[in-house]
Chains A and B, each alone.
Chain A
Amino acid sequence: MTAVVQLADVHKTYHTGEVDVHAVRGVSLEIGKGEFVAFMGSSGSGKSTLMNILGCLDRPSRGSYRLDGADVSQLGRNALADIRNRKLGFVFQNFNLLSRTSALENVELPLLYSHRRFTTRELREKGERALQLVGLGKRLDHHPSQLSGGQQQRVAVARALINEPEVLLADEPTGNLDSRTSVEIMGVFQQLNEQGITIIMVTHELDIASYAKRNIVMRDGKILTDVPVAARLDSREEMRKLEEAHKLSLE
């Protein structure tokens, strides 16, 4: 198994006024291709900071970060932006879609910042394919306000996938969704993972973490436990249970 993400003794210290905040204090880990990792931990455990570093939105204060074999820990703003564009896909808790913009245009967004120039037709084709991948092939021209939370998150996933990234990073992807939609999104994630996409997810919900293959729990900026998921949940199975429960409640 080749490692896509390699962190070696990564530290992150924020200087806020007179106090130094040590958000991450010495994290080393490897994530291989095709893995599905869930980071867990209470707020202040450093998981979000670590996620920002993994997502190349932030640089570690100390230590090295190799993404896809290349050291990215000392790159500048623009180089990091290019890495984010080419190798990473983001899914956020609050979807972060552009309002008053069609699903298709939202999904096309990363392509517009790509080094390659795409024709309008290529843009549309790629966008449509990505939306079909998340099961939204028929809502291309809907604006976010016309979509449900689950559909919006699917658009966000499609946007994250459009540049065929090495890693899909999801920060509390189900945080704003109800339990049923959460299962749906986890279904999308598991399906993508089966197709070989590496997924790193931050969540504080234990059951959501159970859809992943590997759980890493953080506390005080360090890794507390790092274990494979023993009782892994299957989204199809969970969905079936939900349906049954729903039926029962109707009867």
Chain B
Amino acid sequence: MRIFSTNKIALRALRRNKMRSILTALGIIIGVAAVIAMVSVGNGAKSQVEAQIASLGQNVILVFAGSFSPGGVHTGYGGVGLKLPDYQAIAREIRQVANTSPEIRSKNQVSAGNQNWFTTILGESDQYLDLREWPLAEGASFTADDVRGSKKVAVIGKTIATQLYGDESPLGQIIRIKGAPFIVLGVLSPKGLSVMGNDQDDIVIMPYTSAMKRITGNTSFGSFNVQADNAADLGVVEQQIVAILRQHHNIRPGKDDDFTVRDQEEIAAAATATSRVMTVLLAAIASVSLIVGGIGIMNIMLVSVTERTREIGIRMAVGAHGRDILLQFLIEAITISSLGGVTGILIGLGASKAMSVWLKWPTLVSVSSVVVAFLFSAAVGIFFGFYPARKASLLDPIDALRYE
């Protein structure tokens, strides 16, 4: 095997046509860079979704009013909704429950002094922050007594604290919500932006009793958060919630539920499935450019074989076997595509870094995407280089020498 000589010959040939080699590699460079950057964006989004779902708290079951079809479309709406007795029954009757909190959500103007801000107001139980594993940055949370007494107290997110009080400590200050003065008991530790880009610190949390009485005037809850003692009890707790709610809502056997119970894993599965679809989609789009790059290589190699017919003739006349010619063109193609692959990887890594720095997109480069992109680019070289190389190797030396 004259692989070393052939290697030398191929590299010399590439050096002779630097510009053409670079332009040919460009297709692969862009393809590989696109794959790596896109996959890193997809993975980044996925990992952030996962982190978000983990932040819902451990072993949490969510109960929503109304029933959802698997596609997420509201059907059978018009049930009685989630009421206080429903919640109380769940909290009291199910033994395997750790923390529970009913949730009532509204949007309102809040103000302090001459500052005002439009924000989300959550009515929750005193167990909510434990359930979400959401610590306070300063101050304290409201207590069970506050809930029972519908006290005008609240904890606020970091964003609210800065918007309304600036540098001052908000603890003990008055925050006015719908005209009623609430006392700020604590400030939540900051969480930053959610996957969807919402500011999770732009929030006011108060006892659900206060929210119902002073803010919404509503007697229905949007959802219940129920935390099971441990993962093994999730199933039992879910079953009991369903049984209690069906009984309370007088739903006869065979009729559909007018509520929906989801545990965290189901929500996580749905969310990661979505982000996986996105990753695959991005990778697929980027792969197209990789294939286009490969076709570019084949195109140039074919042109090159025709253009270099006489060169091939000369090589054969001085003793090159068909195999030597095949190998030469194959090595040229593989060298172009793998050098393009390496360059593409570097650019792809740079691009995903740039996206996370300047666009603040979460990106996560996976090693497998780098390896796969490189191997794929080398394979592209072999695949698309083989046909032109074989064509060259089958030339007749006399015809090739005579070629004008």
* Chain A residues in the interface with B (C-beta under 8 A): 52, 55, 57-58, 77-78, 81-82, 84-86, 90, 92, 96-101, 105, 109-110, 112-115, 117, 159
List residues of chain B with CB within 8 A of the CB of A115.
2
Which one of A90, A113, A159 lies within 8 Å of B320 (CB-CB)? A113
Which one of A52, A97, A105, A114 lies within 8 Å of B319 (CB-CB)? A114
List residues of chain B with CB within 8 A of the CB of A85.
318-319
CB of B315 within 8 A of CB of A117, answer: no
CB of A84 within 8 A of CB of B319, answer: yes
Q: State the 4 A-B residue pairs at the shortest beta-carbon distance, nearest first.
A: A85-B319, A113-B319, A110-B318, A112-B5
Known pairs A78-B323, A101-B16, A112-B8 / 17 extra A-B pairs, C-beta < 8 Å: A52-B398, A57-B317, A81-B319, A82-B321, A96-B310, A98-B16, A98-B311, A100-B16, A100-B17, A105-B12, A109-B314, A112-B5, A112-B9, A113-B319, A113-B320, A113-B321, A114-B319
B348 interface contact, C-beta 8 A: no
- Beyond A58-B398, A101-B16, whether A113 also contacts B315 by CB under 8 A is yes
CB of B321 within 8 A of CB of A81, answer: yes
Chain B 183-210 residues near chain A, CB threshold 8 A: none
- Min CB gap A83→B, angstroms: 8
- Min CB gap A80→B, angstroms: 9
Among residues of A, the one whose C-beta sits closest to the C-beta of B320 is: A113
Complex: how many Å from CA A100 to CA B4?
22
Query: Which of A77, A97, A98, A113 has the most CB atoms of chain B within a 10 A radius of its CB?
Result: A113
Complex: how many Å from CA A6 to CA B207?
111
List residues of chain B with CB within 8 A of the CB of A98.
16, 311, 314
B397 interface contact, C-beta 8 A: yes
List residues of chain B with CB within 8 A of the CB of A90.
317-318
Among residues of A, the one whose C-beta sits closest to the C-beta of B316 is: A81
Complex: how many Å from CA A81 to CA B396?
12
B332 interface contact, C-beta 8 A: no
- Min CB gap B403→A, angstroms: 11
List residues of chain A with CB within 8 A of the CB of B9.
112
CB of B319 within 8 A of CB of A82, answer: yes
List residues of chain A with CB within 8 A of the CB of B313.
96
List residues of chain B with CB within 8 A of the CB of A113.
2, 5, 315, 318-321, 324
B129 interface contact, C-beta 8 A: no
- Min CB gap A240→B, angstroms: 35
B340 interface contact, C-beta 8 A: no
B322 interface contact, C-beta 8 A: yes
* Chain B residues in the interface with A (C-beta under 8 A): 2, 4-6, 8-9, 12, 16-17, 310-311, 313-324, 397-398, 401
- Min CB gap A117→B, angstroms: 6
CB of A86 within 8 A of CB of B398, answer: no
- Beyond A57-B397, A92-B401, A96-B401, whether A109 also contacts B16 by CB under 8 A is no
Among residues of A, the one whose C-beta sits closest to the C-beta of B5 is: A112
Complex: how many Å from CA A114 to CA B324?
11
Among residues of B, the one whose C-beta sits closest to the C-beta of A101 is: B16
CB of B310 within 8 A of CB of A101, answer: no
Complex: how many Å from CA A109 to CA B319?
9
List residues of chain A with CB within 8 A of the CB of B8.
112
- Min CB gap A143→B, angstroms: 10
List residues of chain B with CB within 8 A of the CB of A86.
319
Which one of B318, B321, B322, B401 lies within 8 Å of A109 (CB-CB)? B318
8 of the cross-chain contacts (CB-CB < 8 Å) are: A55-B317, A81-B321, A98-B16, A101-B12, A101-B16, A112-B9, A113-B319, A117-B4
CB of A78 within 8 A of CB of B401, answer: no
Complex: how many Å from CA A113 to CA B313?
13
Complex: how many Å from CA A40 to CA B318?
24
List residues of chain B with CB within 8 A of the CB of A105.
12
Complex: how many Å from CA A90 to CA B12?
22
Among residues of B, the one whose C-beta sits closest to the C-beta of A58 is: B398
Among residues of A, the one whose C-beta sits closest to the C-beta of B323 is: A78
CB of A77 within 8 A of CB of B322, answer: yes
Query: Which of B313, B316, B319 has the most CB atoms of chain A within a 10 A radius of its CB?
Result: B319
List residues of chain A with CB within 8 A of the CB of B12.
101, 105
- Min CB gap A190→B, angstroms: 24
Among residues of A, the one whose C-beta sits closest to the C-beta of B3 is: A117
- Min CB gap A65→B, angstroms: 16
List residues of chain A with CB within 8 A of the CB of B324.
113
CB of A57 within 8 A of CB of B398, answer: yes
Complex: how many Å from CA A109 to CA B318?
8
Complex: how many Å from CA A84 to CA B321?
11
- Min CB gap A138→B, angstroms: 22
Complex: how many Å from CA A110 to CA B9?
11
- Min CB gap A48→B, angstroms: 9
List residues of chain A with CB within 8 A of the CB of B6.
112
Complex: how many Å from CA A99 to CA B310?
11
List residues of chain B with CB within 8 A of the CB of A109.
314-315, 318
List residues of chain A with CB within 8 A of the CB of B17.
100
Complex: how many Å from CA A42 to CA B8?
42
List residues of chain B with CB within 8 A of the CB of A82.
319, 321
Complex: how many Å from CA A90 to CA B314?
9
- Min CB gap B385→A, angstroms: 20
List residues of chain A with CB within 8 A of the CB of B321.
77-78, 81-82, 113
Query: Which of B5, B16, B318, B397 has the most CB atoms of chain A within a 10 A radius of its CB?
Result: B318
- Min CB gap A152→B, angstroms: 13
Complex: how many Å from CA A96 to CA B401?
8
List residues of chain A with CB within 8 A of the CB of B311.
98
Among residues of A, the one whose C-beta sits closest to the C-beta of B322 is: A77
Complex: how many Å from CA A159 to CA B318?
9
List residues of chain B with CB within 8 A of the CB of A84.
317-319
Complex: how many Å from CA A85 to CA B9?
16
Complex: how many Å from CA A57 to CA B318?
10
- Min CB gap B274→A, angstroms: 54
